Amino acid sequence: MTTSPGTTGPSCRFCGSPLRHTFVDLGMSPLCQTHIAAHQLNDMEPFFPLHAQVCEHCFLVQLQEFVAPEHIFSEYAYFSSYSSSWVEHCRRYAHMAIERFGLGAAHKVMEIASNDGYLLQHFVAAGIPVLGVEPAANVAKVAIERGVPTTVQFLGESTGTAIAAEHGQADLIAGNNVLAHVPDINDFVKGMRALLAPTGVITMEFPHLQRLIEGNQFDTIYHEHFSYLSFSTVEQIFAAHGLVLFDVEELPTHGGSLRIYARHAANEAQAVHPIRQSVQDLRERELALGYRSLARYTGFGEQVKATKRALLTFLIEARNAGKTVVGYGAPGKGNTLLNYCGIRSDFLDFTTDANPYKQGKYTPGTHIPILPPAAIREARPDYVLILPWNLKNEIAAEASYIREWGARFVVPIPTVQVLD
């Protein structure tokens, strides 16, 4: 996010207009993936404003950039392969893309923010050349070890041009939950344009702003997510850099996401990938719902405050009744929720995570111990608060054993719900 000439406040990271309108203010919060080791518990921990604003010109909802991406993503605690449902989602995507676009050994697939190779492994298995572009060296190492070629870089126009010169351009560029993670969204889209073959396709998946608002998903707002995107705003951003959205799908992942399909605006690409009716339909629906008007974005903050009060009321009443509560998962969204609501170990004895990288550490800001999932069976709590609520069905199946002693799952979003 930049500052407009002649102004002292922040300006929109896409169009440069001054930012004057609050979407939601979640107070101060630490970086959500900086899990705390035991020897760091008494150290000072940096907190940054978690204040989302909306641009009155292009309606991009965004956070200011307080920490450089290099600091956030160079070593990252999120490994995609620890979610079996997500790996299956990506396997289905790979098979769809291979069939739809006729991909084979003569083509190249690249993924931006390729993490531990969770997606590209399926193209490798099909004999299609791939390249992952991943800024976090620790997760890129895992991808390389599983046979997924990966370069450790942040994508921008200069790196995109250099990668294309060294490896060739891509027939398919995939990016899952990365578009929201880049502070310079213009440079990022330029980088994809430089990497894309003349008739190639870009697909991007990202949480849909409409679902965030309607589903009260305020916990998906954290410093690693710089932007919160409607379809119409993304269409503007891609168009500004010579890319056309020719198809869009609505997905259930991450509480409700979009998968957009983009191509070069050139005539050759237009003939191969004409614009589908889905684009016009979603554009018109967002317009009808008011996403091109500031009025649509007001009131979300009060809705969030009500959710905070309801969750705290549940936890206070449970504790006063002598009930024990633990968490399940230590995702980024969970850390936003815990810090905004002021939930610490006085409410949650501990939380768990299947990722060994997080086990033995503590949640940022709230310092709740993160233990292996087996700790739940040992503790036999009365309630298990599912922090990655978007995976509630997967988690409820994996940890169904809690019903052996009469425990129940609790989901905090969109409203507090005790599952039967």
Tell whether the model's pLDDT for residue 273 goes beyond 90.
yes
Extended strands (E) in 47-94: 48-54, 61-62
State how many domains the chain has. 2
Tell whether the model's pLDDT for residue 64 goes beyond 60.
yes
Name the residue range of residue 336's domain.
300-418
Does 137 lie in the same domain as 85?
A: yes
Q: What is the pLDDT of residues 233-245, one digit of tens each?
A: 999 999 999 999 9
What the block records as the tokens of 109 is 């697939």
Tell whether the model's pLDDT for residue 270 goes beyond 60.
yes
CATH of the domain at 324: 3.40.50.720
Note whether residue 411 is domain-resident.
Answer: yes
Does 369 lie in the same domain as 286?
A: no
Does 344 lie in the same domain as 196?
A: no
Does 309 lie in the same domain as 259?
A: no
Q: What is the pLDDT of residues 163-217, one digit of tens each?
A: 999 999 999 999 998 999 899 999 999 999 999 999 999 999 999 999 999 999 9
Does 315 lie in the same domain as 200?
A: no
Whether the CB-CB separation of 214 and 50 falls below 8 Å is answered with no
What letter would DSSP give residue 193?
A: H
Between these two residues, 32 and 350, which has the higher pLDDT value?
350
Note whether residue 327 is domain-resident.
Answer: yes
CATH of the domain at 168: 3.40.50.150
- Which are the contacts of 36, defined by CB distance < 8 A and separation ≥ 6? 45, 361, 362, 363, 364, 367
Residue ending a domain, among 241, 274, 297, is: 297
Note whether residue 11 is domain-resident.
Answer: no
* Nearest Cα residue to 136 out of 150, 125, 123, 118: 150
Q: How confident is the model at residue 420 (pLDDT cuts 50, 70, 90)?
A: confident
Tell whether the model's pLDDT for residue 1 goes beyond 50.
no
pLDDT at 373: 95
Q: Count of H helices and E strands in the chain?
A: 14, 17
Residue ending a domain, among 297, 319, 352, is: 297
Report the sign of the C-alpha dihedral through residues 200, 206, 210, 215, in that order: positive
Note whether residue 370 is domain-resident.
Answer: yes
Does 270 lie in the same domain as 370?
A: no
Does 241 lie in the same domain as 200?
A: yes
Q: How far apart are CA 157 and CA 178, in angstroms?
A: 16
Does 183 lie in the same domain as 147?
A: yes
Note whether residue 360 is domain-resident.
Answer: yes
Whether the CB-CB separation of 141 and 79 falls below 8 Å is answered with no
Whether the CB-CB separation of 399 and 390 falls below 8 Å is answered with no
Stretch (H or E) spanning 98: helix 84-101
Between these two residues, 34 and 25, which has the higher pLDDT value?
25
- Which are the contacts of 76, defined by CB distance < 8 A and separation ≥ 6? 33, 135, 136, 138, 139
Does 280 lie in the same domain as 329?
A: no
When pLDDT is averaged across residues 334-339 and rounded to a whole number, the result is 96
- Computed over its alpha carbons, how large is the radius of gyration of the chain? 22
Q: If you write DSSP's letter for every residue of 111-157 in order, what string do you get?
A: EET-TTSTTHHHHHHTT--EEEE-S-HHHHHHHHHTT--EE-----H
What is the CB-side half-sphere exposure of residue 99 using CA atoms within 13 A?
A: 6
Does 373 lie in the same domain as 225?
A: no
Does 328 lie in the same domain as 293?
A: no
Helices 185-195 and 157-167 meet at what angle, rounded to 10? 20
Q: How far apart are CA 267 and CA 404, in angstroms?
A: 62
When pLDDT is averaged across residues 390-410 and rounded to a whole number, the result is 94
Stretch (H or E) spanning 371: strand 370-371
Q: How confident is the model at residue 79 (pLDDT cuts 50, 70, 90)?
A: low
Does 319 lie in the same domain as 237?
A: no
- Would you call 176 helix, strand, or coil by DSSP? strand
Peptide bond into 5 cis (omega under 30): no
End-to-end CA distance of the chain: 44
Note whether residue 60 is domain-resident.
Answer: no
Q: How far apart are CA 149 and CA 144, in angstroms?
A: 6
Note whether residue 61 is domain-resident.
Answer: no
Q: How confident is the model at residue 5 (pLDDT cuts 50, 70, 90)?
A: very low
What the block records as the tokens of 343 is 């939930």
pLDDT at 368: 98
Residue ending a domain, among 254, 280, 297, is: 297
Q: How confident is the model at residue 71 (pLDDT cuts 50, 70, 90)?
A: low
Q: How confident is the model at residue 73 (pLDDT cuts 50, 70, 90)?
A: low
Note whether residue 2 is domain-resident.
Answer: no
Q: How far apart are CA 416 and CA 312, in angstroms?
A: 10
